[in-house]
């Protein structure tokens, strides 16, 4: 967009709003055209309109229906849980695209395979706990990461990614694009996923 | 002093207030007190957000440029450092739009930036 174009648009905005104001003023019944009312209208139709046009938004904003979403597949085997989760979360949010728009879900779908074989540094499997509190006295339950992995092989990856996503309806939508599987099999071959480099 | 009666002035004031609050949700567009509070808040938020908008958009452009740089194996900080040293006069808004509308042009700028950047090269 060159400067001349911007100037043109600016003048055009002034002229159209001037015309609009004139035609509108002619239609107004006399008793409505009191001072504050007229001033307000004038501001809304003329000044405000021109300001808006002068500050015309040139920044691209994605529309919810027009976002193109790819399917990506990541192999979690031997990957470090948190480091992998940040990358996956970035893709789910769409922050890896130059068209990223904060109020629109523009991320891709991510399939994670081998989630049961995800790695952690140090002895976090035995030492790091997930807490849950039932609300009753003495109702605190501590489970190590290893215990969780044994019972729900997908949960470590799911939890790690979900807690890195924004909280709210949009964040939940983003989370629904994540598909985690304990083994190598997944039912999304029809989507022809591309590999996500980790 | 003659005694002043407020009747019509009050009605007028209320009507003016409610006209301003037209389209608000529920009682905020119907009751004087609620409309008054809502209008004050609206004005305050609008004032604050006109200033905030400038920051918000700059943040968005930077996020987008960062994404575009990472697609080309660079970091945002390296890119801006290199672009400045190479004498690129485009601002962040223009750069982010280029990355969307004209990726080839952004490629060229990224190359220039890479060549003149003084930063350490990015890890893979």
Which backbone phi and psi does A112 adopt, to 5 degrees?
Answer: -115, 125
Give the residue among A146, A92, A91 at the shortest CA–CA distance from A119: A146
What is the distance between the alpha carbons of residues B21 and B31, in angstroms, rounded to a whole number?
Answer: 10
Q: What value does the mean pLDDT take over residues B14-27?
A: 94
A77 and A102 assigned to the same domain: yes
Please give the Cα distance from A33 to A45 (Å, whole number): 14
Q: How many domains does chain A have?
A: 2
Nearest CA in chain B to A90: B67
Tell whether the model's pLDDT for residue B101 goes beyond 60. yes
Task: Kindly give the residue spans of alpha helices, DSSP state H, lying in chain B.
Answer: 7-20, 32-71, 76-85, 92-101, 103-116
Per-residue confidence (pLDDT) for residue A52, from 0 to 100: 53
Whether B1 has a pLDDT exceeding 70, the answer reads yes
Return d(Cα B57, Cα B19) in angstroms, integer.
32
Per-residue model confidence (pLDDT) at position B17:
94
| Residues A26, A121 share a domain | no
State whether A77 and A116 are in the same domain.
Answer: yes
Assess whether A172 and A80 both reside in one domain. Answer: yes
Asked if A47 and A69 sit in the same domain, the reply is: no
Confidence class of residue B117 from pLDDT cuts 50, 70 and 90?
Answer: confident
CATH for A77: 3.90.1180.10
B50-69 pLDDT, tens per residue? 999 999 999 999 999 999 99
Q: Could you tell me which chain A residue has the CA closest to the CA of B59?
A: A102
Please state, rounded to an integer, the average pLDDT across all residues of chain B.
91
pLDDT tens for chain A, residues 1 to 198: 344 444 444 445 555 555 665 566 566 555 555 555 666 666 666 666 555 554 556 888 888 888 999 999 999 999 999 999 999 999 999 999 999 999 999 999 999 999 999 999 999 999 999 999 999 999 999 999 999 999 999 999 999 999 999 999 999 999 999 999 999 999 999 999 999 988
Domain that holds residue A22: 3-55
Residue A21, CA distances (Å) to A41, A47, A83, B20, B35 in order: 8, 10, 58, 20, 28
d(C-alpha B23, C-alpha A64), whole Å? 26
Kindly determine whether residue A100 and residue B67, on different chains, have CB atoms separated by under 8 Å: yes
Residue A4's pLDDT is what? 44
Sequence-separated (6 or more) residues with CB below 8 Å from residue A1: A58
Q: Which helix (H) or strand (E) holds A91?
A: helix A81-93
Nearest residue of B to residue A95 by CA position? B67
- Which residue in A117, A134, A62 sits closest to A93, CA to CA? A62
pLDDT category at B76 given cuts 50, 70, 90 is very high
Give, in order, the Cα–Cα distances in Å from A35 to each of A31, B9, B31. Answer: 10, 16, 25
pLDDT tens, residue by residue, B35-45: 999 999 999 99
- Same domain, yes or no: A112 and A129: yes
Structure tokens at B18: 């409610």
Candidates A60, A98, A102; nearest CB to B67: A98
For chain A, the residues whose C-beta falls within 8 A of a C-beta of chain B are 36, 58-60, 95-102
Check residue A3 and give its pLDDT: 45
> What's the ipTM?
0.79
- Which domains, and CATH codes, for chain B? 11-119 (1.10.1900.20)
Give the span between the Cα atoms of A176 and A167, in whole angstroms: 13
A140-144 and A129-133: which strand pairing? antiparallel
Residues A137 and A49 grouped into a single domain: no
Beta-strand pair A140-144/A71-75: unpaired
pLDDT of residue A19: 60
Confidence class for position B89, pLDDT limits 50, 70, 90: confident
């Amino acid at each position: 967009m060159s400067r001349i174009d911007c100037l043109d648009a600016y003048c055009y905005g002034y002229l159209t709003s001037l015309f609009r104001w004139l035609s509108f003023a002619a239609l107004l019944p006399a008793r409505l055209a009191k001072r504050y009312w007229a001033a307000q209208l004038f501001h809304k139709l003329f000044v405000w309109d021109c300001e808006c046009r002068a500050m015309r938004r040139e920044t691209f904003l994605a529309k919810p229906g027009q976002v193109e979403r790819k399917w990506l597949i990541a192999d979690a085997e031997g990957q470090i849980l948190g480091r992998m989760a940040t990358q996956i979360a970035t893709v789910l949010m769409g922050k890896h695209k130059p068209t990223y728009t904060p109020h629109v879900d523009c991320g891709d779908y991510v399939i994670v395979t081998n989630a049961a074989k995800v790695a952690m540094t140090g002895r976090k499997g035995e030492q790091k706990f997930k807490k849950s509190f039932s609300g009753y006295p003495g109702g605190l339950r501590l489970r190590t990461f290893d215990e969780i992995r044994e019972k729900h092989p997908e949960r470590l990856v799911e939890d790690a990614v979900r807690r890195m996503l924004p909280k709210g309806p949009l964040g939940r939508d983003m989370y629904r694009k994540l598909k985690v599987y304990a083994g190598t099999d997944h039912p999304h071959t029809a989507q022809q996923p591309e590999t996500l480099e980790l | 002093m003659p005694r002043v009666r407020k009747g019509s002035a009050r009605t007028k004031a209320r009507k003016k207030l409610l006209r301003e609050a037209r389209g608000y949700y529920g009682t905020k567009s119907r009751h004087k007190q609620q409309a008054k509070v809502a209008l004050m808040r609206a004005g305050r938020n609008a004032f604050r957000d006109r200033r905030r908008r400038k920051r918000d958009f700059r943040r968005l452009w930077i996020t987008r440029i960062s994404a575009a740089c990472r697609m080309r194996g660079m970091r945002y900080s390296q890119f801006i450092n290199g672009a400045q040293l190479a004498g690129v006069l485009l601002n962040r808004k223009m750069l982010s739009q280029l990355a969307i509308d004209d990726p080839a042009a952004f490629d060229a700028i990224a190359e220039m930036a890479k060549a003149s950047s003084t930063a350490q090269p990015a890890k893979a």
